[in-house]
Amino acid sequence: MMRTRAILPAVIYALCLLQHGPVLAAEAEPPFDAAAGAVFLMNARSGRVMCAKNPDTPIPPASLTKVMTLAVAYDAIESGQASLDDEVLISEKAWRTGGSRMFVTLNSRVPLRSLIEGIAIVSGNDACVAVAEHIAGTEDAFVEKMNRTAAEIGMQSTVFKNCHGLPDDQHTTARDMALLARYYISRHPECLKIHSTKELTYNSITQRNRNGLLWLDSGYDGLKTGWFEAAGYHIIATALNDGDRFIAVVMGARTVSQREATARQLITYGFRNFTTIEALSPNTAIAQASVVKGVQDTVQLGPARAVVLTIERSSLGAIVVQNDVSQSVQAPVAPGQEFGSARVLLREETLASVPLVALHAVERAALMRRMLQTVKLFFAQPPYWGALALVLLIVAACAAAITSRRGSTGRSRKKGDVFL
């Protein structure tokens, strides 16, 4: 049961991705020289890809691996499998893990909350192993959870071998890292408060966050850096501006300054040239349909789900919504019942299409009202059989009257002849 509850967030997220509609345009190269092996720019709200370079080239993830470690940990907390207040025992394996460290003490007990901070802020490899062992029993079992989550959210080119990112023949792509970042931020937005923290003091040791973009006053609030010699310098950067969020992935840069400059170029390009709108909102009436034999004559219709689109700022005034609605529906009507569709168009190109559903119930009318409506429809709706029948009756009545009149005239004349 616990395993099922733990994987549900990723499954639900994957289903939500399918509902956002098609990507608006083919992936374009960045409009500048992106000085890195691979880059990827995505809008976090809509999922639209703004530009990419070598997005599917396999690259060792280095410490970007820790984003998945944190995602699996937060999923476990959300499902009730773990708590931020858990006291985590630091094993010898965790304590001995090399590379960047939080400097936890052997056989000590550290709150899970503190270990998550150590992973997110100072990239502690020792904290990663401690968290993995606490949640799954062993690091290997935890890595299985990481790979399962990766598959569920669509990371088709990623294989994890450990929970911290040290060299171990594991690989990912810029595209997969963007998908992971979007999943992580959307499922657990509270994580950004930790990722945006600039330094951490633990065991009397103060370390700075390696994400230099956090020191810029431009809405940057995450997410993670990574490096080892064979992989180069990586960063997943994200920033929020006026309610919109972009995610930039830079992998294989030659220096720290190069990865930060490239990420900043990508994020700036996104905000300056694109905007994200909710073109259709659920539970908002945008059409109506006639109801036959109901206590109400019409039912209000609205989109079955939200349609969120990221478009070029220059196209903002060209968005049109076109409804295709059933001419009439039969009562009773249930909320959520489908009666047509709505399409969002940009210069005659369909960007998204969603069902139109009833926003409220319409009960079946009483017998007398239904009879009156039937008579009314008989005369008012095409092919107008009621009106045609009435015309035929009038013609028949006129013909009968004429025939009767001619008959009466003939009999009168015959009677007159007899009297003469």
Token representation of residue 182: 């979007």
Catalytic pick among 46, 63, 91, 100: 63
Phi, psi dihedral angles at 199 (to 5 degrees):
-155, 160
Whole-number Å distance between alpha carbons of 330 and 291: 6
Q: Torsions phi, psi of 32, nearest 5?
A: -150, 170
Per the annotation, the verdict on 281 as an active-site residue is no
**What are the residues whose beta carbons fall under 8 Å from the beta carbon of 114, sequence distance 6 or more?**
202
Reduced to 3 states (helix: H, G, I; strand: E, B; else coil), residue 157 is coil
Q: Which of 100, 123, 196, 341 is catalytic?
A: 123
Is the Cβ–Cβ distance between 35 and 258 less than 8 Å?
yes
What are the structure tokens assigned to 298, written together?
């019409």
Q: What phi, psi does 372 have (nearest 5°)?
A: -65, -40
Choose, from 66, 145, 224, 293, the residue flagged as catalytic. Answer: 66
Give the SS3 label for residue 270.
helix
User: Beta-strand (E) ranges in 166-314?
Assistant: 199-202, 205-208, 220-228, 232-241, 244-253, 274-280, 287-292, 298-303, 307-312
Q: Contact at 8 Å (CB) between 105 and 96?
A: no
| Tokens encoding 265 | 């170029």
CA 243 vs CA 38, 218, 223, 277, 297: distances in Å: 27, 13, 17, 10, 40
CA 367 – CA 363 distance, rounded (Å): 12
Q: What is the DSSP letter of 364?
A: B
β-pair partners for 109: 89
Q: Which two tokens stand for residue 301?
A: 């219709």
Active-site residues, by number, are 63, 66, 123
